[in-house]
Amino acid sequence: MQLEEIEQDYQEVKKSFQERDNSTVATEIAREMPEFPILEDVFGYLIDVFNGQVRRDNKTPLVFHSIYLTKLLYLCGEKNLDSHLVAALHDVIEDTDVGEEELIRQSFLEGREYLIKYLEILTEDKSLSRDPDGKTLPQRYVTHIKKMIGAPKEVVNLEIVDRFSDMMDLEYILELPDEKRKMRLRSKVLKVSSFVANIISDREDYNPNCLALFNAKLDKLRNEHEVDISPEIVTP
């Protein structure tokens, strides 16, 4: 699918989560990926543990993000179940009351307990600052990138589409006063480009469709808002 099709699908699915029963929407999306029937159970679990939390817009269920990224990997041709489980579960430990010990006991992780280690890699250290300045990466992101360099391909593919998602729903930035908006857009481009540039460096096992989609969105964001800033290279 082309960037414009993905952007439209993203908005349509988001609207469905805002307006319809989330369990029903999640089941419909899971059934779009018939190779992985286990995703119905996984998505049902996500609906339960995210427990009605909403995003900063106060209307989009937080669970939309995890479920859509799982679908996005599928649309990019990713047919590895581990990748889909990592995508679906990547924010559970960080954004819900569920801990590793409880998560690892879930039936959909039976025989795949090693994925907990992948999820640990994806969990940020929230004690570190992420305050943007439009010039350099905040310490939280530098530390997180170092953690992900050399990570399993399932982590890398999820991170690429997660950073694609970072470039959607930018209304909260675009509505800011001019100078602050420019600074936040520079910070956004610096963040997403630095994450992806560093984690794919010197490796070829990532999903090329995920990277192509990310690059198309990044180019569009740079061009539309005239943002000229290069990725920051992090030393492991």
Q: Per-block average pLDDT, block size 10, for the chain (236 residues)?
A: 96 98 99 98 98 96 99 98 98 95 97 98 95 97 98 98 98 96 98 99 97 98 97 95
How many Å apart are CA 109 and CA 212, to the nearest integer? 30
The domain locations on the chain are 1-120, 124-236
How many Å apart are CA 182 and CA 176, to the nearest integer? 9
How many Å apart are CA 191 and CA 185, to the nearest integer? 10
For residue 228, what are the contacts with CB-CB under 8 A and spacing of at least 6? Answer: 222
Q: Give the pLDDT score at 59.
A: 96
Task: Say if residues 223 and 185 touch (Cβ distance below 8 Å).
Answer: no
Q: How many CB atoms lie within 10 A of CB 54?
A: 15
List beta partners, residue 162: none
- C-alpha distances (whole Å) from 37 to each of 3, 34, 174, 191 are 27, 6, 39, 35
| pTM confidence score | 0.97
Rg of the chain (C-alpha set): 17
Q: Give the pLDDT score at 207.
A: 98
Q: Give the pLDDT score at 236.
A: 86
Q: Give the pLDDT score at 143.
A: 98
Amino acid symbol at 54: V
List beta partners, residue 61: 54
For residue 211, what are the contacts with CB-CB under 8 A and spacing of at least 6? Answer: 160, 196, 200
Q: Where are the alpha helices (DSSP H) in the chain?
A: 3-19, 22-30, 38-50, 63-75, 81-89, 92-95, 100-104, 115-121, 139-148, 153-166, 171-174, 178-199, 208-225
